[in-house]
Structure 1
Amino acid sequence: MVENIVYNRYSYTLTNDEYLPASRAMLYATGLNSKDLNKPQIGIVSNWYEGNPCNMHLNILSKQTKKSINKNDMIGYQFNTIGVSDGMTMGTPGMKYSLPSREIIADSIESVVKAQHYDGIIGIPGCDKNIPGVLMGIIRTGRPSIIIYGGSIESGKYKDKKLNIVSAFEALGKKKIGKISNSEYQNIIKKSCPGPGACGGMYTANTLSTFLEALGMTLPFSSSCLASNLNKTYECDKIGFYIKELLKKQITPKKIINKSSITNAITVSMALGGSTNLVLHVLAICKTANIKFNIDNIKELAEKVPMIGNLKPSGKYLMEDIEKIGGTPILMKYLLNEGLLNGDCLTVTGKQIKENLECIPNISFDNQKVISTLYKPIQKKGHIRILYGNIAPNGAVAKISGKEGHCFKGTAKVFDSELEANKAILKNKIKSGNVIVIRYVGPQGSPGMPEMLKPTSYIMGAGLGDKVALITDGRFSGGTHGFVVGHITPEATSGGVIALIEDKDIIKIDAIKNIITLKISKKELQKRYKKINKKTKKLEQGYLSKYSQLVASATEGCITDKRKK
């Protein structure tokens, strides 16, 4: 008996319902013929736009993907969603739109795919919020889907030294204290980004691309293949075969994404020393997929997963170096062999993780320094730490590489905006032993929870990386390093304790006991509560006004869908 496989179960409504003649008429206008009306329709969504190196090449990949879809007897329809460049908007009011753009991306994908009745989806993200936004949108649709990561950028070079986007940020701090000349400064800026692709270190984009691959939502090697590598085009060429297999077997994202695969994905990202933004996005992804997972689950993983990736920002190497030693699969094979990954998890190849990794060679530690052995890790426990204490009763997220130590005690230097803090750092007003406090920059307070890469880069450029700490109710770029704590909740705008901190207060951060403490009495705290300055910014119209009213706290992933778990 021949199995009757339905590939076009969703598009069939528009192409074959006798009561929808206008739908067929409009599809004919797009170039379809009568035979094409029975083929499955695949939406191909990219975050292409010309104004950002992370995204400027994605339309090329989208067109190549469409060719692969059409060759496999399906109809590919390209459409776009938005993107915001974190690197370009950093330290400006535009940065407020970075995290909120994730919700627009997810909403737009859900809207187009469900409205147009597409049978499957190929997502092609490039920059930081693109990746979780695309994944969240795909999960909501329930359609068989595959994601193609746009790929990482190649390193720049100046005076025989590798450069990347963070080099440009840190160069300003170096120039301000006279470490480099203006001529050197200008050359670093010109040569930091040589072409297309996402920022090259283990920053947010590459953290989330490795997360996607370990999750099972991309083909093997997608996360470590550079944007400029011809293999990225080859990946697009193969996609038609694999999406048709998913349609055939009706493998949807929720059959791939579960607590075990999420754990796999976090494990790989943590082992590589990934961005703290991972926490925000994992919480939002799990909420979207109805998976019970919270920051304490991440805290437990941080206790078990050593950091073995010697990657920027805290390390030496870039994603191009991961590619050179065999790509993300070679690391995953190692973690699988050591019992840190669940090999039974399903992937978009239609196979399990362990099946995908069968032919991958074992990693060698003799001829490379990019990945360390688990038995001599860079850090025995995860670099992402979940802290609690009177400053953060609902939690905070720290990024502690160990290079700056694991504990810090110092005097507060308080700023009610990032701009004020940046000016103070560049004017050399920050001294050794200070804990810089940047508040009113949370998801509601800013609104939009901007990244604090500029102040942390200026700190590093000024040589204060191991001499000061920085805490905030905002968040950090994947390019951030130093002794930093973000995502403090409740945020200042919500009346959190961070709003009560005053200059010269003593703050203690302990990343071993996972505690952050404001060293004042409960009586003094109550006294300060009476005169608390709850700053609210009135936004009469626009997206940020709507976002500030809908957004949940950082410990809930800053989602705008506030359904109860």
Structure 2
Amino acid sequence: MISDQIKTGVDRAPHRSLLYALGLTEEELSRPLIAVVSAQSDIIPGHVHLDKIAEAVKAGVYAAGGTPVVVPAIGVCDGIVMGHKGMHYSLASRELIADSVETLLTAHCFDGAVLIPNCDKIVPGMLMGAIRVNIPALVCSGGPMLAGHVGGKKTSLSQMFEAVGAYQAGKLDDAGLRKCEQSSCPSCGSCSGMFTANSMNCLCEALGMALPGNGSIPAPVSARIQFAKHSGMKVMELVEKNIRPRDIVTAEAFHNAITVDMALGCSTNTSLHIPAIAHEAGLTIDLKQFNEISEKTPNLCHLAPAGEHFMEELDEAGGVSAVMKELADAGLLHTELPTVTGYTVGENIAHADNRDPEVIRPLDKPYSATGGLAFLFGNIARNGCVVKRSAVAPEMRVHSCTARVFEGEEAAVKAIFGGEIRKGDIVVILYEGPKGGPGMREMLVPTSALAGMGLDKDVALITDGRFSGASRGASIGHVSPEAAAGGEIGLLRDGDIIDIDMDKYTINARVTDEEFACRRAEQKPHESWVKNGWLARYQRMVSSADEGAVLK
């Protein structure tokens, strides 16, 4: 056992004395030590209940003959930090989480690990750290929040942000806004649509790093506690058989994950996290690979914000396994791959059943013949940019628009709420990329403002920053190279015409290379607001969005 390095031999007597100080017994020290990496905190609704999940995991580990030890991980609530300085820390925190998981697992010689994340950057951060260390491990998320109910309709956090836009436009009064804010987020758990957290938790299943149900079993139900106990039991099998993350997260497994991504209509942020996770496994994911898979993969689900279904309905319909069964029946998945269940992908989904063909469309009746995401390339995004095509109105998929250029989110939001944006405009937000932000803030406030004001079918938005999984409409993000790295998006000016064709994966400004060269010669250097702290270090080391914004 790896843990023998701190438990066995005369020279480890001091180490054992410290382990006994924890209250551990000789019997417990004779068993494998399992890290239960819990991101519980009282500031994140998706994480407030993770202490209960951790206790259930511990029970499962004990039942299967291991000794569980809870260790911590940090987390940032993207919803709470949205629209202010705090959002700069969200994506960047992924690297801190990966580093802390690596540190805790390696320094304390754990034999295995159960990772308990739930929200946005915590899921990929933990997975990145576990792959780096490469000891037997699996993901056990906290599960999605139940949908809210406002005016007889199911709602989620995305409608809450859009309610602000409706209020600003005079479409909602004080009482209506108060009703929304008190009813949209009714329980613990990751926000209830196919936003980034739930996207990543679902893709952990598709990748083979979590048991079936990880992405969809609701947080408040008893089945989630049972799921956690089974996860604790299962890690002991992984330790016994020495099955490690790099045995599972192969190039073919990432192909499966991207295929499921396209079928589910996941968040655009998956295109940051999948390449970053692959990077830890020594693999490279090219953004064009997403488009190649999208061309062959039908979009089977329209969960919020793309549609009116929520995570609890996906679970009732059969969950990710039912989606994967539809895809496997069409020959779109590698079904022979190993997973943390101890069975292959095909064996895991053999008995899955699509119990609601409206929530999970069958292959002969998809929402669209192609996947949920599209990656566009052109003279303002030479290395690519991303849009959640499944959440875009049909009339906006191919169109031309007039640029309204802003440096930073705040200026854009002020113009939107000030009524300065007109139909046919495209709001261009600069210097929000990995370096320029730094930290690539999510632009949920401006996209929700446009949607709430009824402009999401008439106004597009493009940025070198990113979007929340809760964003909908023609929201184009991750433009690479970013403005702070000399990208052409930083050379756009008010009045430039931009042509978008999401079906042909192109985006171009009607600006010649010669004109861009002239503008570049006149451009003044952008000065970062960050002068110290670890964000300054992050800004120096972070790569571009098309590479997953990993540190180099």
TM range (shorter): over 0.9
Matches within 5 A, 1:100-499: 100-361=92-353, 363-364=354-355, 368-401=357-390, 402-405=392-395, 406-499=397-490
Q: How many residues align?
A: 550
1:526 pairs with 499, 517, 531, which one?
517
SS in 2 for 1:394: strand
Return the TM-score normalized by structure 1. Answer: 0.95
1:49 aligns with 2:38: no
CA distance in 2, matches of 1:310, 1:475: 21
CA distance in 2, matches of 1:240, 1:442: 38
* Deviation string, structure 1 residues 77-115 (Cα, Å, up to 9, x no partner): 001110000011111110000000111110000000000
CA distance in 2, matches of 1:508, 1:17: 69
Alpha-carbon contact 2:65-2:236 (below 8 Å) kept = no
| Alignment partner, residue 25 of structure 2 | 33
Q: What is the CA distance between 1:45 and its match in structure 2?
A: 0.4
| Alignment partner, residue 3 of structure 1 | none
CA distance in 2, matches of 1:557, 1:101: 14
CA distance in 1, matches of 2:394, 2:445: 19
CA distance in 2, matches of 1:183, 1:52: 26
In the alignment, residue 151 of structure 2 is paired with which amino acid? K
2:63 pairs with 54, 66, 71, which one?
71
CA distance in 2, matches of 1:521, 1:51: 49
SS in 2 for 1:393: strand
Alpha-carbon contact 2:35-2:71 (below 8 Å) kept = yes
In the alignment, residue 334 of structure 2 is paired with which amino acid? N
CA distance in 2, matches of 1:255, 1:463: 48
Alpha-carbon contact 2:33-2:110 (below 8 Å) kept = yes
In the alignment, residue 516 of structure 2 is paired with which amino acid? L
SS in 1 for 2:11: coil
* Deviation string, structure 1 residues 452-489 (Cα, Å, up to 9, x no partner): 11100000011111101111000111011101211111
Alpha-carbon contact 1:310-1:369 (below 8 Å) kept = no
In the alignment, residue 398 of structure 2 is paired with which amino acid? C
CA distance in 2, matches of 1:515, 1:358: 39
CA distance in 1, matches of 2:50, 2:69: 15
In the alignment, residue 539 of structure 1 is paired with which amino acid? V
In the alignment, residue 128 of structure 1 is paired with which amino acid? D
In the alignment, residue 518 of structure 2 is paired with which amino acid? K
In the alignment, residue 67 of structure 1 is paired with which amino acid? A
SS in 2 for 1:488: strand
Alpha-carbon contact 2:264-2:372 (below 8 Å) kept = no
In the alignment, residue 373 of structure 1 is paired with which amino acid? P
Q: What is the CA distance between 1:74 and its match in structure 2?
A: 1.3
| Alignment partner, residue 13 of structure 2 | 21
Q: What is the CA distance between 1:387 and its match in structure 2?
A: 1.2
CA distance in 2, matches of 1:345, 1:248: 19
In the alignment, residue 188 of structure 2 is paired with which amino acid? P
* Deviation string, structure 1 residues 9-48 (Cα, Å, up to 9, x no partner): 2100110032222111101111223333221000000111
Q: What is the CA distance between 1:293 and its match in structure 2?
A: 2.0
Alpha-carbon contact 1:151-1:222 (below 8 Å) kept = yes
For structure 1, list consecutive stretches of 5 or more residues without a partner in the other structure: 1-8
Q: What is the CA distance between 1:517 and its match in structure 2?
A: 0.8
| Alignment partner, residue 516 of structure 1 | 507
Identity fraction in percent? 39
Q: What is the CA distance between 1:72 and its match in structure 2?
A: 2.1
CA distance in 2, matches of 1:17, 1:552: 45
In the alignment, residue 173 of structure 1 is paired with which amino acid? G
In the alignment, residue 369 of structure 1 is paired with which amino acid? E
SS in 2 for 1:356: helix
SS in 1 for 2:401: strand
CA distance in 2, matches of 1:159, 1:240: 41
Q: What is the CA distance between 1:538 and its match in structure 2?
A: 4.8
In the alignment, residue 485 of structure 2 is paired with which amino acid? S
In the alignment, residue 467 of structure 1 is paired with which amino acid? D
In the alignment, residue 375 of structure 2 is paired with which amino acid? I
In the alignment, residue 35 of structure 2 is paired with which amino acid? G
CA distance in 2, matches of 1:10, 1:85: 34
Alpha-carbon contact 1:386-1:398 (below 8 Å) kept = yes
Q: What is the CA distance between 1:368 and its match in structure 2?
A: 4.3
SS in 2 for 1:437: strand
SS in 2 for 1:388: strand
* Deviation string, structure 1 residues 365-384 (Cα, Å, up to 9, x no partner): xx541122222221211231
* Deviation string, structure 1 residues 92-151 (Cα, Å, up to 9, x no partner): 110000000111110000000000000000001011111100100110111000110110
CA distance in 1, matches of 2:10, 2:297: 57
CA distance in 1, matches of 2:210, 2:203: 10
Bigger Cα displacement from structure 2, 352-361 vs 413-422? 352-361
Alpha-carbon contact 1:494-1:534 (below 8 Å) kept = no
SS in 2 for 1:412: strand
CA distance in 1, matches of 2:374, 2:350: 33
1:543 aligns with 2:527: no
In the alignment, residue 305 of structure 1 is paired with which amino acid? T
CA distance in 2, matches of 1:225, 1:543: 36
In the alignment, residue 244 of structure 1 is paired with which amino acid? M
Q: What is the CA distance between 1:76 and its match in structure 2?
A: 0.6
CA distance in 2, matches of 1:397, 1:33: 53
* Deviation string, structure 1 residues 229-285 (Cα, Å, up to 9, x no partner): 101100122223311111111000011110111111111121011111010001101
SS in 2 for 1:187: helix
Alpha-carbon contact 1:392-1:488 (below 8 Å) kept = yes
For structure 2, list consecutive stretches of 5 or more residues without a partner in the other structure: none
Alpha-carbon contact 1:499-1:533 (below 8 Å) kept = no
SS in 1 for 2:400: strand
In the alignment, residue 319 of structure 2 is paired with which amino acid? G
Alpha-carbon contact 2:432-2:440 (below 8 Å) kept = yes
CA distance in 2, matches of 1:368, 1:504: 45
SS in 2 for 1:150: coil
Q: What is the CA distance between 1:204 and its match in structure 2?
A: 0.5
Alpha-carbon contact 1:217-1:256 (below 8 Å) kept = yes
Bigger Cα displacement from structure 2, 197-206 vs 35-44? 35-44
